[in-house]
Amino acid sequence: MSFYSILRAEYKLVYSEMIRRRSALIAMILYPYLFAGFTLFFGYTMGSAEIFSRRIGVDPVIFMITASYTVMSVLASVDDVLWRPLSDTFIGTLPYIIASPVSRLKLYLAIPIPRLTALIVMGFTSIIPVYTAYYGLEGLLSGLVVMGLITLGCLTMITLAMVIAGLVHTIGESWRVLNIVRPLVMILLGAYYPRIYMPLIGYVLSSLIPSSHIVEVIHNMLRGELSNFYILIALAIALAVLYAPGGNKSILYWEKKKVREGVKTD
Amino acid sequence: MGEAIVVEDLAKTYRVKKRIRFLKSHIEVVEALRGISFKVRYGEVVGLLGPNGAGKTTTIKILATLLLPDRGEALIDGYSVVKEPNKVRERIGIMLTVEKGFYGKLSGRENLEYFAALYGLEPRRARERINYLVKLLELDKLGADYKLFEEYSLGMKARLSLARALLRDAPVLLLDEPTLGLDPPSARKIRDLVKDLARKEGKAILYTTHNMFEAEMVCDRILLINKGTIVAEGTPEELKSRVPMLKVVNLVVRGNKKVRGLIADYNVKYEVKTEASDLHTIRVYVEKPEEILGDLLKKFVRNGYDIVSIRVEEPTLEDVFIYFSREA
């Protein structure tokens, strides 16, 4: 059973849904602008752009559009893994997936990639035009590098999402817990709120999230610093690899619990 | 032909939390299976026949590796459903609830392609198999290539569900009430196909239903299951012949009084169905109808009933089921 076949099937599933549900597609395109606009509006109402630039070292518009695009991409890949067991239960496909011999690690690694691809492409409608407008050709190149880094950031989140998914769904009433997990990941990622300003506990927890290191790389890059570039990237990848066995076990544990209780078939 | 499914002393108990008052609940223990044993050979369709709650779906779920039994053993193609679930999963095709289980925004073909990938079929083999199944189940004529699953009729959903069960060409098929709620042409199509799959392709098929007519039409052997116990087993003819000497007196009477009291004196097995509050259909199982018939009719007339019709019949599979259930 090749990863390629599973990935191909997931692409078909996700893109058929996406194309046939136009509202979702439009929302996906508009999201970074809406979120960045919303945060900028509040930012300008309550604070000063200059102070922000001085403190963070990046223009607020660039920072916010990058943060919105990062959060949207990372959360989408996390969400796909976290919510998939629930949506399969609701649709009624779960018994057929559990009763299939497919490798759970391959399946869950493949699940977020199709939507992630679409989101990364959305970078051409969100960060690239803004970067180019601000910095010209150099902005275009920086935008492409940022898109690449975010892709890596999203991929490194999959195994951690698997660990969380298995645990959360084992507990039961998982949708309630997921609604708490989501904003937590959003904050700890450090995209809107750089983790160097977080309290120690926040900083420690944030360091356990693989893509938070990539976010730090992006922030450094926007500030014109390239210190620890490779170390942070290596750290993100190492964490993702470290979480992989746990992720697989977590999903299998949840499935075993389901089988002990009896997978609902009606 | 060897044995494809071997079930030994399979038992399952559910603990269900029942709410009895606000903030007060108690645990109800439901014995879904009480140690059932049976075998299914290759090339054979075996019907698991019983009313709702008899334990049919629990049996199918255990065999499909979707539920763990409390006790006993079940082997599929020689592999244990408890110890080697992944081996079992490679050898079964399952059809559970007909209405659900597919992605609504995908067409029938796209859904089959998705599950083919999960089942590990190589893309070329998957394409060939899907083309074959779409033709076999006449899904192509119904628009499976372009129509989205959410737009399908129940009959079409059932056909697609059977196509998925057949995707891997697995030697064992577990079909849970595959014709439930279907229109007669779709139900017939599925029944005919199931028979062919066993006869021509040598598949072992476990087929649950509560439809007696269907069981008689499709199954080579029938397991009558009630309250988690197999109460009888055999071919439809064998089962009928095991209700020896019995005839069924089918009596329809009209009247407002209680019917059961009048029959209870005779110490016979009987079934009463009441329609429109005063029309009662009574089926009495007796060895020699002539011994009680005259007396019974007199009793009904004396008690103010109108006799609408009376017939003496050979027992049907339904009668056999009622007989064995009562015995149990």
| Residue A261 to residues A256, B30, B98, B171, Cα–Cα distance (Å) | 9, 13, 22, 27
**Closest to A29 measured CA to CA, from A78, A67, A69:** A69
> Cβ contact (<8 Å) for B102 and A93?
yes
Q: Residue A81: which residues within 8 A CB-CB, separation 6 or more?
A: A108, A111, A112, A158, A161, A162, A165
> Cβ contact (<8 Å) for A99 and B110?
no
Band (B41; pLDDT cuts 50, 70, 90): very high
Band (B1; pLDDT cuts 50, 70, 90): low
- Looking at per-residue confidence, does A31 or B68 come out higher? B68
Name B48's bridge partners: B208, B223
The CA distance from A33 to A27, in Å, is 10
Residue type at B325? S
Partners of B114 on chain A (C-beta within 8 Å) are: 9, 12-13
Partners of B65 on chain A (C-beta within 8 Å) are: 98-99, 259
State which residue of chain A sits closest to B105, comparing Cα positions. Answer: A17
Judge whether B208 and B179 are in contact, CB under 8 Å: no
Chain A: give the shortest CA distance to residue B15, in Å: 10
Judge whether A201 and A195 are in contact, CB under 8 Å: no
Best of B80, B94, B105 to disrupt the A interface (most A CBs within 10 Å) is B105
Q: CB-based contact (8 Å) between A96 and chain B?
A: yes
Residue B111 tokens read as: 């859904």
Maximal CA-CA distance, chain B: 76
State which residue of chain A sits closest to B69, comparing Cα positions. Answer: A260
State which residue of chain B sits closest to A9, comparing Cα positions. Answer: B114
Partners of B104 on chain A (C-beta within 8 Å) are: 91
Q: CB-based contact (8 Å) between B218 and chain A?
A: no
Going residue by residue through chain A (266 aa), what tens digit of pLDDT does each one get?
Answer: 688 889 999 999 998 888 887 787 787 777 777 777 777 787 777 777 888 888 888 888 898 889 988 998 999 889 999 989 999 999 999 999 999 989 999 999 999 999 999 888 888 888 899 899 999 999 999 999 999 999 999 999 999 999 999 998 988 777 788 888 888 888 899 988 888 888 999 999 999 999 999 999 999 998 888 888 899 999 999 999 999 999 999 999 999 999 998 888 77
> Cβ contact (<8 Å) for B106 and A93?
no
**Annotated domain spans of chain A:** 3-261
State which residue of chain B sits closest to A21, comparing Cα positions. Answer: B105
Chain center to CA of A33: 17
Strand intervals (E) in chain A: none
B148: which DSSP letter?
Answer: B
Q: What is the pLDDT of residues B228-278, one digit of tens each?
A: 999 889 998 888 777 666 788 888 998 877 788 888 878 788 888 888 778
Domains of chain B: 3-241 (3.40.50.300), 247-327 (3.30.70.240)
Residue numbers of B between 14 and 53 with CB closer than 8 Å to A: 14
Residue B24 tokens read as: 């007060």
CB atoms within 10 A of CB A155: 20
Judge whether B177 and B204 are in contact, CB under 8 Å: no
> Cβ contact (<8 Å) for B89 and A20?
no
> Cβ contact (<8 Å) for B100 and A92?
yes
Give the dihedral of Cα atoms B216, B219, B221, B223; nearest 10 deg: -80
Residue found by looking up tokens 């990372």 in the block = A74
